[in-house]
Chain A
């Protein structure tokens, strides 16, 4: 039960437990950094203060041993009187002295005991006349030429006190920083976890089957909002694909049910024993035609799947689109004529494209077949090829003068199995334009439908091969890439 509860808790508040270790580490790192910074500040400050004290020691030395106006060294008596003159300002200067004559007797100054003094300024212990214990200071010792000795001592209480104050202060700061750092990190991790949990809840809802669920973007900001938008975009795409897949399965089922129902009825009629042989034969022929119809839907679907899988992309060749168009036009001219229409050649420019010839033939045959089926008696269909050099595209146009397709239906007719009401009675499986679209896409191209006032314009844009652009202006040069691709 406890274990289960723990598991439930983790499910409700995931992420924060994983962040706990990071939070403590973060706090410790912050404290350590602060300690290091404090030590550095202390060392630097101490050095600066010592320098300042040294400077005042040298200055006092220069003043005490200042030569006479004649340029001679001051006598011991002069030094002594200078010291005594200074001793009055003792409380201000915080510098003490000790002057010892060559006989070893102290003849001036308030410092009575001095340990550790040398010829360069350094830390010492000293005691003054009225002092009861040794104190820390910095001192400088000068040997005078007559054998006497001058000690100059400065208090370093300030530095000492600074040390006493600064370390507890840094410790306090470190503690505050650690606690504060941990608290801030915990807060941050909670904020992040809360933001992430909205995404997680959405993902869970989708796993549970609610495909419409999306991450609420309004409550989020900055990168979380961006991330949520990307996530939602991905979900939209997945949902669209799933719907499409579902739609395709439904469409296939619907589209096959009609011919299979007819097939069943035909076979049932043919199975009737007392029917004349000739009639039975005719029914069997009709059943075979129905089978062929079903098989042709499968063939088209498989072809579409093959094209969409992009298997042919490896076998693309450098081909002249204009020559291909001439070839198809020659084949389709009788078909269009038999449909009571005219097939006209528009402007046909030279255009080289990298393509699968079989698929491009099918693309154009499909477009012309569509025209033959839907444009109607007495109309004309024009095929043209031109180059749009600026965008590096060849474009193949099939334009008829039939009834055309209303603007709102133009996107619809490109989907599989979509057949507009007025064309339902005519042959066709509703896969032609979907295949044209897929073939154009395989070649890196696109298809646009437009109004021919009256009629339908289908424009197929295909990328011009590099050699195609050269072919218009001079002798054809093949780029190595084009040669490799066509080989």
Chain B
């Protein structure tokens, strides 16, 4: 992916850019909102990583300009401010995702993949089929090899998230936000415990486990194991 990183702190900008290159992306940096808008006029970017606090033109203002401009790439806002008010302000200004500092590169990469994929997905899907797993979102039904599985709401939500981002890492923080809607991080194994129930149900008849735990950060659902 071709990414634009708007961050005024030079060392953080370099760390983010090099981290994203490690994941195989092209990353360009811009230290101010004005430079960033100029780069956006001249080049096409798949997504933008935007620091909220910028000198001069504020991150939220930059976001509003991006939303009015051509191309209109998906934007992930980075912020040191985690309070709900700030989060809401960012989302309302048109951010596709909001990530509170500090974060790790795996998290940033997973979220960028997710927002780009979501931006490219044109129509709303009601059914997803990956390998032997079929899911009907509207009817809340899941099948493996044509046999129905009884998942509760959380297990169902986890499976949808993993299938929508299949072959990509979905982080714990993303799952907490999307499946639970929590802005806080519980201290216990809420994700792990629920995930283990989902995996048990997916493999109850001796099928292969399509889900892999990515150490320290999240989970991947592999198409070839599904």
Contact = CB atoms under 8 A, between A and B. Distances in A.
A405 to B, nearest CB: 18
Nearest to A302: B82
Interface stretch (A105-113, A215-223, A365-373): A365-373
A190 interface: no
Interface stretch (B37-45, B163-171, B190-198): B190-198
A373 B154 contact: no
Given A288-B216, A311-B85, A358 B189 contact: no
A296 interface: yes
Contacts of A428: 187
Contacts of A361: 180, 182
Nearest to A428: B187
A330 B153 contact: yes
Contacts, number: 69
B102 interface: yes
B126 interface: no
A285 interface: yes
Contacts of A249: none
B190 A335 contact: yes
A415 interface: no
A358 B152 CA distance: 21
B183 A358 contact: yes
Nearest to A335: B193
A362 B184 CA distance: 7
Chain A, interface residues (CB within 8 Å), range: 20 to 34
A306 B194 contact: no
B82 A338 contact: no
A334 B197 contact: yes
A432 B187 contact: yes
B123 interface: no
Contacts of B187: 296, 366, 369, 427-429, 432
B169 to A, nearest CB: 16
A331 B84 contact: no
A365 B190 contact: yes
Contacts of A331: 154, 180, 190, 194
B205 interface: no
B188 interface: yes
A296 B193 CA distance: 20
Interface in A15-66: none
B82 A299 contact: yes
Contacts of B194: 331, 334-335
Given A299-B185, A335-B189, A330 B216 contact: no
Contact of A334 (B82, B83, B153, B196): B196
A389 B192 CA distance: 39
Contacts of B154: 330-331
Contacts of A327: 153
B186 interface: yes
Nearest to B101: A295
A343 B15 CA distance: 45
Interface string A314-325: 010000000000
A358 B186 contact: no
A136 interface: no
A427 B186 CA distance: 12
B146 interface: no
A285 B216 contact: yes
A303 interface: yes
A332 interface: yes
Interface in B167-226: 180-190, 192-194, 196-197, 215-216
Contacts of A315: 84
A337 B216 contact: no
Contact of B84 (A312, A373, A429, A432): A312
A369 B154 CA distance: 18
Contacts of B83: 302, 306, 311
Interface string B97-123: 000001010000000000000000000
Contact of A295 (B84, B102, B186, B215): B102
Given A330-B153, A331-B194, A337-B193, A358 B84 contact: yes
Most A C-beta atoms less than 10 A away, residue of B83, B102, B197? B83
B152 A369 contact: no
B185 A296 contact: yes
A358 B85 contact: no
Nearest to B85: A311
A357 B183 CA distance: 11
Interface in A252-292: 285, 288-289
A111 B187 CA distance: 121
A457 to B, nearest CB: 21
A310 to B, nearest CB: 12
A366 B194 CA distance: 17
B211 to A, nearest CB: 15
Given A285-B216, A361-B182, A334 B193 contact: yes
B16 to A, nearest CB: 17
Among B154, B184, B187, B193, which residue has the most Cβ atoms of chain A within 10 A? B187
A323 to B, nearest CB: 12
Given A311-B85, A372-B188, 11 more contacts: A303-B184, A330-B153, A335-B193, A338-B193, A358-B84, A361-B180, A361-B182, A362-B184, A362-B186, A365-B186, A366-B187
Interface of B: 82-85, 102, 104, 152-154, 180-190, 192-194, 196-197, 215-216
28 contacts: A285-B216, A288-B104, A289-B216, A296-B187, A299-B184, A303-B184, A306-B84, A311-B84, A315-B84, A330-B152, A330-B154, A334-B196, A334-B197, A335-B188, A335-B189, A337-B193, A338-B192, A357-B181, A358-B84, A358-B184, A362-B182, A362-B184, A365-B190, A369-B187, A372-B188, A427-B187, A428-B187, A429-B187
The 8 closest A-B pairs by CB, nearest first: A334-B193, A335-B193, A369-B188, A338-B193, A362-B184, A334-B197, A365-B186, A306-B83
